Structure 1
Amino acid sequence: MNTGGPRHGIHDTAPAARWEDAFVSGNGETGVLVVGDPAAERLIVDHHRLVLPNGSRDMAPPAVAGRLDEVRDLVLAGEAEAAQRAFSDGRRLAWTQPFHPGFVIELDRANPAPARDYRRETDFRTGEVGAAWTDVAGGWRSRAFVSRADRVLVYELAGPALDLAVRLSGELPGRPADVGYASAAEAWDPREALLTIRGTYPPGLGAHGFAGVTRLVAVDGPVRAEGDRVVVRGASRLVLLTVLDRGDAPPDEGLLRERLEALPAEYEHLLRRHTALHTPVYERVELDLGVSPADRAQPVGELLAAQGGDPGVSPVLLEAMFHAGRYLLISSTGVLPPRLTGLWLGEWGAAWSGDFTTDANLNLQLAGAGIGALPEAVESLRRLIAGQIEDWRENARAVFGTRGVLAPSRTDGEHGRLFHLDADWPWAMWVAGADWLLFPLLEHWQVTGDDEFLADPLAPWLVEVALFFEDFLTRVDECGSLVLVPSYSPEVGPTGRAGVAAVNATMDIAAARHALSAAVEVCTRLGIEEAAVGRWQAMLKQLPEYAVDARGALAEWAWPGLATPDDHRHVSHLYPVWPLHEITPDGTPELAVAAHRALVLRGDENLSAHGSLHRALCAARLKDADLVEANLGKILGNDMVFRSLMTSHNPGLDVYNADAAHAIPAVVIEALVDSRPGVVELLPALPGRWARGRVRGVRCRNRVTIDELAWDLERSAAHAVLCSDVDVTVSVRCLRAVGPIRRGESLHVEAGEPVRVEFALEADDE
């Protein structure tokens, strides 16, 4: 195995030719896309809360609870379209407020000479983006990062003699005509100046607009203001500090100036403060796939070209995508969880409003948060939910007349009311959302054992989900089983009939079972809601069983006459497999076979990124290594990775989208370590091309941390080092192993005492 260790960064030999290829930095609030052009640098500045008002902020959920019995009767009678019309209150589909870019910092050099020996790079460990080159005058270097410590974008340019103009601009592709920009510049010191930009939204729809302020400091050489530009002549180095804000009222530029003036214009000092927070988070987990130093040293363009259209996954690219994915997730997580584009956008008109799409995408992006030792990402989801939980309660009351909570299928981050629906898209019927969105928080408790977090806020929210199902589940079938109606499996309906409203969607059954079970577990642990626990336990016995269709596949609806479609981007009916661990090969082998059959039969529809990654996560849980690799290959072998290692939603680099980038680390971890309370399974779905490697820092859902897991298929050897912060006993097993560990061995891990497990692996058949 290569002992040089993985490389934690990427580099390129040319500036970005498109904004999607720009290298990125972020602190979970502010983000920057850096093009890296020596002659005309462009830094696109973004902010998590920049959404364009469109009138949807005050929209309410449909008040249709009074029609519920009518709608249920229609659905049970097979009149899906009529039920959808009755439950939509006649509204048209309205979209969330779209995420949009902020502004551009333009640095234009006067009479630049041709650059030689150019290199731009991103350092994942520090969060820095930089470029270096030479010309006839000498060597030049630029670098930038967004500080977690000081909430400021820091940029530095150094060279023989800086002769350039700096300006803040709102000119980005697709800017609506009714969004106004005004920029200004002023110099109050021979070596300092201030640049400002104000963006204003159309009036009467919500927020007023946003503002950005940049403090420019030239280390030597004079600066002067010329219109809305600052001109620098003869300096050897300049530093730019940038902050921005958005508000219902005009943002207070004075406060932004005060923030900047309070900071030292010293790049290294600010970087040290930032890396003290960023670097330890990034370094918690590492993957080493035994890649050679020469392969790791490739520029990103060569790395992607080497993968090409190969459906097999190149270990060198996968290792890079693993580390890049964690870096991108860390950088786009903070005040909010990652949007569809993470935290970055270089043009107006984001697909799907660039929002938080909650029926699949958001959870997939956070799939590696708990097990990948990123509680900060889980905290961002908690913060999002906490700010919207009252809206979820309003949704439940208005739509179903119930207690508890009902989550929307999407949110722009400003509210959580369920308004994105119409007669064709009956999102009011999706009842699994709250359980689905709370699962990463429950997983966080399993990983950390944080009972304070469990008691507040998690347990009260889990109780509210159980209360919703307690009130919602009022119909029974002829066998006495509870019936989930109306029921909706995102974003698909039964084949061979009109309409998508249905009965007993498998995802909804799984959500109801998990919600009631989780509420029983946590309430029993905390000694609360004793009377409700008994009711929920009785309801669990009445829930419908999952159905297996004539093809031997897990059905999408457990109701007669509702046929599962063969080709769709979503696989929501595999919720019991991933993330719930309800259907497992060892615990429910017959259902696991049916789930695997369903996974294999489901076509890819349009090869959307979230579909492939969702399939890969399910394949890992079902221990199908080949299917894990095949689904990763759909991303890496279909031209879906930009030179920034951000991914696209569709093949052919179509639509900048973080789903795959953020989810790939989770897929890799799930293929190497599967865990649930009481169980740690090693190498459950290891593809043959990952012939040797090492992963460290993986968190298990039972308080165990995998300090190290190493394997070598050629030598048929592996070992693992387990530790915990509490005494814990787990069953450790590896189905690829020879000996007792194949079936599972009980292992006691004492707090603070690492335990090493060595085992032989079966030789490959080939």
Structure 2
Amino acid sequence: MKKLTLLFISISPFYAHAQEALKLWYKQPAGNVWTAALPVGNGRIAGMVFGNPAEELLQLNEATVWTGSPNRNENPEALAALPQIRQLIFDGKQKEAQDLAGEKIQTKLSGGQMYQPVGTLHLAFPGHEHYDNYYRELDIEKAVATTTYMVDGVKYTREVFASVPAQTIIVRLSSSKPGTLGFSAYLTTPQKNAVVKASGKDLTVNGITGSHEGVEGKVKFNGITRVIASGGSVATSDTAVTIKNANSALLFISMATNYVNYQDLSADEVKKASAYLNAAVKQPYATLLKEHIAAYQRYFNRVKIDLGTSDVAKDPTDVRLVNFSKTYDPQFISLYFQFGRYLLISCSQPGGQPATLQGLWNSEMSPPWDSKYTININTEMNYWPAEKDNLPEMHEPLVQMVKELSVTGQGTARILYGARGWVAHHNTDLWRITGPVDRIFYGIWSMGGAWLAQHLWDRYLYNGDRRYLADVYPAIKGAALFFVDDLVEDPKRKYLVVNPGTSPENAPSTRPNVSFDAGCTMDNQIVFDALSAAINAAEILGKDAALVDTFKTVRRRLPPMQVGQYGQLQEWIDDLDNPKDNHRHISHLYGLYPSAQISPDRTPLLASAANTTLLQRGDVSTGWSMGWKVNWWARLQNGEHALKLITNQLSPVGQHGGGTYTNLFDAHAPFQIDGNFGCTSGITEMLMQSHDGVIYVLPALPPQWKNGNIKGLRARGGFVIDDLVWQDGKITKLVITSTLGGNCRIRSAAPLKGKSQLKQASGENSNPFYQVTPVAAPLVHTKTLAPLESAVPNTYDVATEKGKSYHFTAL
């Protein structure tokens, strides 16, 4: 893939108070509370650092430690039963159709394998039960977790980081008085098929993961911790390494498995783990730390944000969380935004696995929802910040997974639906299964692959790399081709519809346990996007002209969006919505975000209906749902309501729905990482949007963020927002760099001026990355609907050249 080095602009430090505050910090240890521990990771291996003085715990993960082995999970009885299931739905017998599909389409094999922990490193410090001056932090500017405290007048310090260059987790233990460091190190593991032992300076765990749902466990894993002390003595028992009277110590943690790819388990896990370890221990600690920070900051430092600060920013993180809704603490939002970027850098690196439902961090052998990939929203949400928040490399593991699913999903499309192309349902795992799993209520939903394929197309809109587009085009094309064969004509309305379909995890109140239907709104929206992406990609690459005509014909026959009797955007093709429904999934607003089919400026009636739906559903919900709502309110240009959702999210768990744990992990509850990424994305959407044919600066700025500055955001079309400064809500500085050239259309609530020629925009944007595909006029079934009122912003065109920057201010 072509490297676009011009995309990433070096940004000098600014606003010292904003950067100094980029720490999560606490006056007490985590104890045994996992969601109070602090996460470190390098995209492949990870640890949770508890900071307990008497017994430090580092809970350990490696990205490919999953149950099972290569497998497929299609039900071969599906295709023969499909016509009957479809007819039952068209006849209004949804329950009968759902029951039959549960028997004939739902998998009878694996419902997905589980992501599992490797184990826990214990560091026992005799005599450290009584301590004072305790402090622990996670510095997200450097990706280092530090714990300090005093015992008998001696200061003890622990530093932990997960290094990308060294491919190990490194722990440094030190004391302020020579000869006073003493501890015992040992490993434990919940894995039943594992052996733990100590030998010399090394602690090792070797094992193989278990079987699950009939799939034999074949992932072999190896973990090695090497303890190197400076001064003092070393003693080794069968299970522990004990250090006495040392000055300091270094611990190197290496983990690896036999996993090569979803089809291949032929690697030597011991050789891999040993190679990482032996390379790391040869380097001085100062070099290891310096190289780790440099590798991390290569990504992290691209974006800076300052929304202001206040005295409460000096409080510990847990205190700020409790008080956030009652105090003025804009810096806490900046911290939370950057924490989301920290998490994405730490759990998703090039060459690795995508972020799971819990990122890279999991302590349970049977985690919630198996900690796999839920692709009816959660996995996609994990990657919403990747491109616009200047972390495109972090997107690469997801792109690779989608390419792999586009291979495994071909068999599923053929066996279950008799269709070409490829399909994935609402869940997948390390082995790239694509058959329907879990409850029949939501398992048979054939949109997962098509939604994921949008990430491939959207990535191109940011990078403009045709070689990349050619590489991912087969997956984009295959996602659309599936619907050419799968869609069927609705005998009543004559539209082409998905049947069977569902609106994820929800059902009409008139049949609460029956989700099956045909032509659900979200299905129609995703199919529209899948076809549009394939059409655009093919035309750019000059491929498949006849197939493009077919795609266009099919797209014209999709159902339009509809506005129901309550002024809401209909969730189903029939007007079945209940205005008192407060379900966490509002999936039919996919068309508002992450798609751009609904726009206050271009489709105000649909925007009004989306606004009504959001008000009817309410604010309080699970963590990820509130994270999605931040993005929706930002797209509706309602900054105050978006901020209200952020405030609900930044509340202790259970206070306003899901909320946030002490360590700022998102709560469904339990922990799911998607809400962290959803909120980071939503904050970005409040400050800058690049869709609907324009770059919109400060589209949803709440009055509470009166003054601020953000640097380094990326916009579609290869534009970088090098600097965006505002005072009293008015832009005082806007610098945009063009890495691809072409027309830059800028929208701002206030008029702009600049050294470059600003022309009042008219007509369609000539920039090919900002082409808008019109949607069909909605069907409106109410007489009370009014278009959403939207400010008439100032819109300008600027002709840009590749590699040049353009400066603007408000008039």
Aligned to 1:154: 170
Q: Partners of 2:267 and 2:70 in 1: how far apart?
A: 20
Matches within 5 A, 1:325-474: 325-334=340-349, 335-422=352-439, 424-428=440-444, 430-457=445-472, 459-474=473-488
Secondary structure class of the residue paired with 2:387: coil
Letter in structure 1 aligned against 2:321: L
CA contact under 8 A between 2:406 and 2:423: conserved in structure 1?
no
Matches within 5 A, 1:610-621: 610-621=624-635
Secondary structure class of the residue paired with 2:597: coil
Aligned to 1:291: 309
How much does 1:377 deviate?
Answer: 2.2
Matches within 5 A, 1:70-149: 70-89=84-103, 95-112=111-128, 114-149=130-165
From the superposition, tell whether residues 300 and 407 of structure 1 become closer, same or farther in structure 2 (CA, over 3 Å).
Answer: same
Matches within 5 A, 1:730-749: 730-735=744-749, 742-749=793-800
Structure 2: 5+ residue runs without aligned partners?
1-13, 259-264, 654-658, 754-759, 761-791
Aligned to 1:197: 205
How much does 1:752 deviate?
Answer: 2.4
2:185 paired residue among 166, 173, 176: 166
Aligned to 1:578: 593
Secondary structure class of the residue paired with 1:290: coil
CA contact under 8 A between 1:700 and 1:706: conserved in structure 2?
yes
Q: Partners of 1:529 and 1:448 in 2: how far apart?
A: 23
2:284 paired residue among 241, 260, 266: 266
Secondary structure class of the residue paired with 1:67: helix
- 1:142-175 CA deviation, whole Å, 9 max, x = no partner? 11111111211111101232222111112xxxx4
- 1:107-153 CA deviation, whole Å, 9 max, x = no partner? 11223373232221112122111112233252221111111112111
Letter in structure 1 aligned against 2:505: E
Aligned to 1:210: 221
CA contact under 8 A between 1:392 and 1:408: conserved in structure 2?
no
How much does 1:564 deviate?
Answer: 7.7
CA contact under 8 A between 2:73 and 2:107: conserved in structure 1?
no
Residue 649 (1) aligns with residue 668 (2): yes
Q: Partners of 1:355 and 1:201 in 2: how far apart?
A: 15
Secondary structure class of the residue paired with 2:60: strand
Q: Partners of 2:634 and 2:794 in 1: how far apart?
A: 19
Q: Partners of 1:62 and 1:607 in 2: how far apart?
A: 38
CA contact under 8 A between 1:731 and 1:746: conserved in structure 2?
yes
Secondary structure class of the residue paired with 1:302: helix
- 1:198-245 CA deviation, whole Å, 9 max, x = no partner? 234446722254221111111222212122111112111111111112
CA contact under 8 A between 2:580 and 2:616: conserved in structure 1?
no
Secondary structure class of the residue paired with 1:24: strand
CA contact under 8 A between 2:402 and 2:449: conserved in structure 1?
no
Aligned to 2:248: 237
Letter in structure 2 aligned against 1:234: N
Matches within 5 A, 1:584-733: 584-603=599-618, 607-639=621-653, 640-650=659-669, 655-676=670-691, 678-713=693-728, 716-733=730-747
- 1:41-71 CA deviation, whole Å, 9 max, x = no partner? 1111111122234x99443345412222211
- 1:74-118 CA deviation, whole Å, 9 max, x = no partner? 001111111122223355786422222221111112233732322
From the superposition, tell whether residues 634 and 63 of structure 1 become closer, same or farther in structure 2 (CA, over 3 Å).
Answer: farther
Matches within 5 A, 1:17-32: 17=31, 18-32=33-47
Secondary structure class of the residue paired with 2:454: helix
How much does 1:489 deviate?
Answer: 1.0
Q: Partners of 2:467 and 2:692 in 1: how far apart?
A: 19
Secondary structure class of the residue paired with 1:232: strand
Q: Partners of 2:127 and 2:527 in 1: how far apart?
A: 67
CA contact under 8 A between 1:56 and 1:95: conserved in structure 2?
no
Residue 528 (1) aligns with residue 571 (2): no
Letter in structure 2 aligned against 1:240: L
Secondary structure class of the residue paired with 1:444: helix
Give the TM-score normalised by structure 2: 0.86
Letter in structure 2 aligned against 1:5: A
Q: Partners of 1:61 and 1:48 in 2: how far apart?
A: 29
From the superposition, tell whether residues 484 and 693 of structure 1 become closer, same or farther in structure 2 (CA, over 3 Å).
Answer: same
Secondary structure class of the residue paired with 1:5: helix
Secondary structure class of the residue paired with 2:112: coil
Secondary structure class of the residue paired with 2:393: helix
CA contact under 8 A between 2:520 and 2:572: conserved in structure 1?
yes
Q: Partners of 2:84 and 2:60 in 1: how far apart?
A: 50
How much does 1:738 deviate?
Answer: 8.5
Aligned to 1:493: 507
Segment drifting more, 71-80 vs 108-117: 108-117
Q: Partners of 1:479 and 1:302 in 2: how far apart?
A: 57
How many pairs are equivalent?
736
Secondary structure class of the residue paired with 1:554: coil
Letter in structure 1 aligned against 2:243: V
Q: Partners of 1:281 and 1:632 in 2: how far apart?
A: 25
Secondary structure class of the residue paired with 1:218: strand
How much does 1:677 deviate?
Answer: 6.7
Q: Partners of 1:259 and 1:751 in 2: how far apart?
A: 41
CA RMSD of aligned residues (A): 2.5
Secondary structure class of the residue paired with 2:668: strand
Letter in structure 1 aligned against 2:184: A
- 1:664-701 CA deviation, whole Å, 9 max, x = no partner? 11100001111127411111111121121111111111
Q: Partners of 2:35 and 2:438 in 1: how far apart?
A: 31
From the superposition, tell whether residues 68 and 60 of structure 1 become closer, same or farther in structure 2 (CA, over 3 Å).
Answer: closer
From the superposition, tell whether residues 742 and 3 of structure 1 become closer, same or farther in structure 2 (CA, over 3 Å).
Answer: farther
From the superposition, tell whether residues 456 and 717 of structure 1 become closer, same or farther in structure 2 (CA, over 3 Å).
Answer: closer
Identity level (%): 26
Secondary structure class of the residue paired with 1:149: coil
Segment drifting more, 367-376 vs 677-686: 677-686
Segment drifting more, 149-158 vs 259-268: 259-268
CA contact under 8 A between 1:313 and 1:632: conserved in structure 2?
no
How much does 1:753 deviate?
Answer: 2.2
Aligned to 1:190: none
Aligned to 1:752: 803
Give the TM-score normalised by structure 1: 0.91
Letter in structure 2 aligned against 1:680: I
From the superposition, tell whether residues 133 and 478 of structure 1 become closer, same or farther in structure 2 (CA, over 3 Å).
Answer: closer
CA contact under 8 A between 2:90 and 2:490: conserved in structure 1?
no
- 1:253-301 CA deviation, whole Å, 9 max, x = no partner? 3543343223315322122222232111011112101114x44333212
From the superposition, tell whether residues 667 and 252 of structure 1 become closer, same or farther in structure 2 (CA, over 3 Å).
Answer: closer
Secondary structure class of the residue paired with 1:156: strand
Letter in structure 1 aligned against 2:802: A
- 1:434-457 CA deviation, whole Å, 9 max, x = no partner? 221122222211111111111102
1:280 paired residue among 283, 298, 301: 298
From the superposition, tell whether residues 322 and 691 of structure 1 become closer, same or farther in structure 2 (CA, over 3 Å).
Answer: same
From the superposition, tell whether residues 208 and 449 of structure 1 become closer, same or farther in structure 2 (CA, over 3 Å).
Answer: closer
From the superposition, tell whether residues 255 and 543 of structure 1 become closer, same or farther in structure 2 (CA, over 3 Å).
Answer: closer
